[in-house]
Structure 1
Amino acid sequence: MRIVADGLSPSCWSVRTRVTVTATVIVALLLIVGVAVFYQAVRHTVLQDLRARGVLAAADVVTIVRNEDPRGMLAVQDADFPLLQVVDDRGRVLASSEALRGRGALDVPRPPASGRPEVHTVHVPGVSADVYVVSERTSSPYGFRTVHAGAPITELTRNRRFFVAALAAAVLLATAAVAWIVALSVRRALSPVRVMSAELADITDIEGGEGERRVTVPDPVDEVSDLARSVNLTLHRLEDVLLRQRAFVADVSHELRSPLTGLRAQLEVALEHPGDEDWPAVARSALADADRLQGIVTDLLILARLGAGVPAGRERVDLGGLVREEVARRPRRVPVETDLQEGVVVWVTGDHLVRVLTNLLDNAERHARSRVRVSVASERGDAVLVVADDGAGIPPEDRERVFRRFHRLAEGRRRDRGGTGLGLTISRDIAHAHGGSLVAEGGGITGTGGATNAAHGGARLVLRLPLAS
């Protein structure tokens, strides 16, 4: 029973069923209300016509009563109002038409005032249909009289059932037609969606071994075609992510294999002739490879945490003070010049910012010929850190590539064979995690007033972070 109930729940229905049922119910309610209003309008029109004619028929009898106060038979002036009566205040019938001869007074309330006709629908014994009665109180030479003029509502009573049945049948037929039309229209409208669903089910490799595999975009420009284009865009992005992930895995495997292979080779050679080996030198070489492996694993862990959005505690950090401490922490191959503005405070994770600054200084030192320059300033609500060197610089076509994982330029590999190629990648990810940016520019070290040292060229790495409020 529970399974059946769940199957009948609207939440388990298809979109086509839900739309069809909703539209059908709404249309059925509107049709029922419309038919009811139409029936009442027809009935009101018929009764209004009877009232107008009944008032005229009663007025004719009232004229006679005022002049003559008749007794006995009354002549019928309107054939549709054959039921005429004149009743005194005691309820005695003084005069009536042939149709009411010998009958008692009609069971109709006496009008409270003269000259104001009132209408009632009553049942008269011996008459097959209900009687529409117009009553009017008037005076005669011998006292007050009540005049009744009635008409059997034969046509309305006789055709009521047929009329109501016809209207009900019309509602049912119209509702069924609407349900069929809506179901057919929704089916046709959702046909491209079914095609897309089938195509998506068939796409098991978003790289598309036989070329790009995409869903079909229907011809009409509507919401369904927009959905198809969005699906294709999502497939393209997934394909790009998968390709980059596979390339990343391949690069990681390559970077890890090199130190592991070197370490294994050193140990195997040393073990073949253990008596002839300088074991302290072997240990130092193995330790260097282990340090490189540890560096790669550490960098990968940082990238994974940044990519997963793992929250880290933040604090207010004086960017100029942090640069001053980091520059003074250890001597470098080339002198480092500083131009640090005071009071440039950012809201960051301190360890992450230290990692960025270390990576940028190491990179600049690696490529610099004679000096490195670091500047800190505030600009339009941002803290701007610039690390520049007077080295060979970064070609324009490589200024984005240097931020790719494991991507190293030829000069970088020549100057530092032990690097991982992840420093700038991690630095940019940290900048993005803090709502900032990191870009590479040309121009190298600028002189006083911002003039570029054209003689040496060089590279500029510009870090922007939002200022702390």
Structure 2
Amino acid sequence: MLSRCLPSFRVRRTVATAAVAVCVCVAVGLLVLLFAGGREAELAQIHVTDAWNQVVPLIRQGPLPSVLPRGEVQAIQVLDARGRVAASTPELVGKPPIATFRADDRNVRATRVVCPPNGLEGCVTVTSYKVYQPQGVWLLYIVAPQVPWYGTARDILLVVGASLVIVVMMTAWSFRDLTKAMAPVNAIRGELAEITLSDLDRRVPVPTNYQEFKLLAETVNDTLNRLESASARLGRFTADASHELRTPITSMRAHLEEALLYPQDTDWPKMTRAVLAGVDLLQMTAADLLTLARLDARTSLHRDPTDLCSLVRVELGRRKYRKKIVENLAESAYVECDRLRITRVLCNLLDNAERHAASRITVSVRTGGKSVIMEVADDGAGIPAEKREMVFDRFTRLDTARNREAGGTGLGLAIAREIAKAHEGTLTVEDSERGARFVLCLPAYDARPFAQTA
């Protein structure tokens, strides 16, 4: 099924900018046209007033000519007290009254739109004035063009033309600016599309014109750095795992082939024990690899409020150790943890300490602020400061523990640190007067609600 083609960000933003520009221009254009219409209406009223000022003195003082100058208005007509045309502008000479309405008793002026008036064409605005004379009320009709709300056609053309220019300019500017702005994104996308597992050392270009794109490129490069490091670690881990698995397999194969070649001279019980030892090592390595895979996959932990002091006491009492165990435990120290996983950390640290201790192992648990601290220390040769982080690498054995009998699978401390990270804690090697001191720090848990519900 073909996916629907999505519009590009540049096109959508350009269309949106054009739509906003159109809306703004329409709104501003309407205001301009309203202002122009009001201005034209005001100008027409001024012309009507000027015509009134010119004709009324002629009516009152005389003599009133039969043909009046039109001035700035469209037409003028004067009716005497008996309703006869006394004077008019040239276009109304010899024509009947253009209108019959007059102002009411409370006003001297009335304005109406007449379509069409007598003697004229189209719709016009007719203003009727009452002029009081001794023989009666005379009527003065002044005709002006009807002014629409938008003013004149010239105003409409001016507004429409200016709006088109503004919309086109804003749309073109938006398209150009977005094209320029999206160029770094396209460059980043193009570079990412070409990066494969074989060339993880490549990096995307970092633009300098926009801070947001600069941060995006730097974040992508940081991610690529982590990906390259993870790929390198995975490669080393795979190679080390292959080597660690191949060594016992090679040893077991050699024992079995020798037994098959010389069945009469083979000490079968001894050979069987050697093969079983290799199987045990394979089983331990496979189990540790599976544990690391689950920890790397961030599988969920079954956390429960746990007294770490009680957990340590139970574990120390369950096993027998070849070295003396010195306990230095607080009365209680609660953490919220996966008990099996934390027990695994303790066992790994104890196994490591037992392999390297001269005669004594010290286990202590205490609280410190918002943390619970567990320490496992031995009185062995210790770990140099420059190699304290190295011991947590997978399949790492220091020179003093190169032999397989003392070194185990080389995954115990790596597993312990991953479990600590999964609990939002830390596992480090700290300074010690003698031997190695491993420190596990976990977030403390408020045991009071737990104690009330228990």
How does the TM-score come out when normalised to structure 2?
0.86
Provide the residue aligned with 1:225 in structure 2.
214
- 1:421 is the counterpart of 2:406: no
Residue pair 1:206, 1:213 contacting (<8 A) in 2 also = no
Shift of 1:300: 1.1
1:185 aligns with 2:177: yes
Determine the structure 2 residue equivalent to 1:46: 40
Distance 2:102 2:255 in 1: 124
Could you say if the C-alpha distance between residues 60 and 361 of structure 1 is closer, same or farther in structure 2, counting changes exceeding 3 Å?
same
Which of 17, 25, 36 does residue 11 from structure 2 map onto?
A: 17
The answer on whether the counterparts of 1:306 and 1:433 sit within 8 Å (CA) in structure 2 is yes
- What RMSD, in angstroms, separates the aligned Cα atoms of the two structures? 3.3
Alpha-carbon displacement from aligned partner over 1:383-427 (angstroms, at most 9, x marks no partner): 110111111111111111111111111122348346111111111
Q: Find the partner of 1:258 among 223, 235, 247.
A: 247
2:438 to 450, 461, 469: 461
Q: CA deviation at 1:433?
A: 0.6
Consecutive unaligned residues of structure 2, counting only runs of 5 or more, are 447-454
**Match of residue 448 from structure 1:** none
Q: CA deviation at 1:87?
A: 6.6
The answer as to whether partners of 1:119 and 1:135 remain within 8 angstroms in 2 is yes
Match of 1:148 in 2: 141
Query: What residue is the counterpart of 1:237 in the other structure?
Result: 226
Q: 1:403 aligned to 2:392?
A: yes
The residue number in structure 2 matching 1:124 is 116
For the Cα contact (< 8 Å) 1:315–1:349, is it kept in 2? yes
Matched residue type, 2:71? A
Counterparts of 2:80 and 2:279, CA distance in 1:
127
Deviation of 1:323 after TM superposition, in Å, equals: 0.7
Deviation of 1:215 (Å): 2.1
Whole-angstrom distance in 1 between the partners of 2:205 and 2:218: 9
Instruction: List aligned pairs for 1:3-152, cutoff 5 A.
Output: 12-58=6-52, 76=68, 79-81=71-73, 83-85=75-77, 92=83, 95-98=86-89, 99-101=91-93, 102-106=95-99, 110=103, 113-115=106-108, 117=109, 119-125=111-117, 126-128=119-121, 130-136=123-129, 141=134, 147-152=140-145
The whole-number CA distance in structure 1 between the counterparts of 2:81 and 2:341 is 108
CA displacement at 1:459 relative to structure 2 = 1.3
Partner of 1:260, secondary structure, is helix
Correspondence for 2:260: 271
What residue is the counterpart of 1:446 in the other structure? none
* Deviation at residue 220 of structure 1 after TM alignment: 2.8
> Quick check: 397-406 or 141-150, which moved more?
141-150
Alpha-carbon contact 2:79-2:97 (below 8 Å) kept: no
- Counterpart of 1:179, as a letter, is T
> In 2 relative to 1, CA 367–79 (structure 1 residues): closer, same or farther, beyond 3 Å?
same
- What's the % identity of the aligned pairs? 36
Distance apart, 1:371 and its partner CA = 0.8
Summarize deviations over 1:224-265 as a string: whole Å, max 9, x none.
Answer: 333222222222221111111111111111111111111111
Q: Which amino acid aligns with 1:27?
A: A
Tell me, yes or no, if structure 1 residue 198 matches structure 2 residue 190. yes
Is the Cα–Cα contact under 8 Å of residues 137 and 146 in structure 1 kept in the other structure? yes
Offset from partner CA, 1:19-50 (integer Å, 9 cap, x none): 22111121122222222222222221111122
Is structure 2 residue 302 aligned with structure 1 residue 313?
yes
Q: CA deviation at 1:120?
A: 4.3
Residue ranges of structure 1 left out of the alignment (5+ in a row): 444-453
Matched, 1:374 2:363: yes
Take 1:109 and 1:273, find their aligned partners in 2: how far apart are those partners? 141
* Aligned counterparts of 1:229 and 1:24: Cα–Cα separation in 2: 33
Q: Give the drift of 1:218.
A: 3.0
> Shift of residue 78 of structure 1?
6.2
Give secondary structure in 2 for the equivalent of 1:416.
Answer: helix
2:321 & 2:391 partners in 1: Cα distance? 23
Sort the Cα spacing of 1:150 and 1:327 in 2 relative to 1 into closer, same or farther, 3 A. same
- Note the 1:237-386 alignment, pairs <5 A: 237-386=226-375
Distance 1:302 1:81 in 2: 100
Shift in CA distance, 135/378, structure 1 to aligned 2, threshold 3 Å: farther
SS at match of 1:384: strand
2:160 corresponds to: 168
Q: CA deviation at 1:56?
A: 4.3
Question: Cα distance, 1:86 vs. partner?
Answer: 5.4
Residues 92-133 of structure 1 deviation map (CA, whole Å, 9 limit, x = unaligned): 566552344533343768457315x55444433454564333
How far does residue 328 in structure 1 lie from its aligned partner after superposition?
1.3
Q: Residue by residue, what CA displacement relative to the aligned partner does 1:356-385 show, whole Å, maximum 9, x if unpaired?
A: 010111111111112111111111111110
Deviation at 1:58, TM superposition (A): 3.6
C-alpha separation between the residues in 2 aligned to 1:415 and 1:267? 21
Task: Return the alpha-carbon distance in structure 2 between the equivalents of residues 13 and 42 of structure 1.
Answer: 41
Partner AA of 2:31 in structure 1: V
Distance in 1 (alpha carbons) for counterparts of 2:178 and 2:265? 85
Match status 1:213 vs 2:206: no
Letter in 2 for 1:36: L
Separation (CA, whole Å) in 2 of partners of 1:107 and 1:263: 128
Q: Are 1:387 and 2:376 matched, yes or no?
A: yes
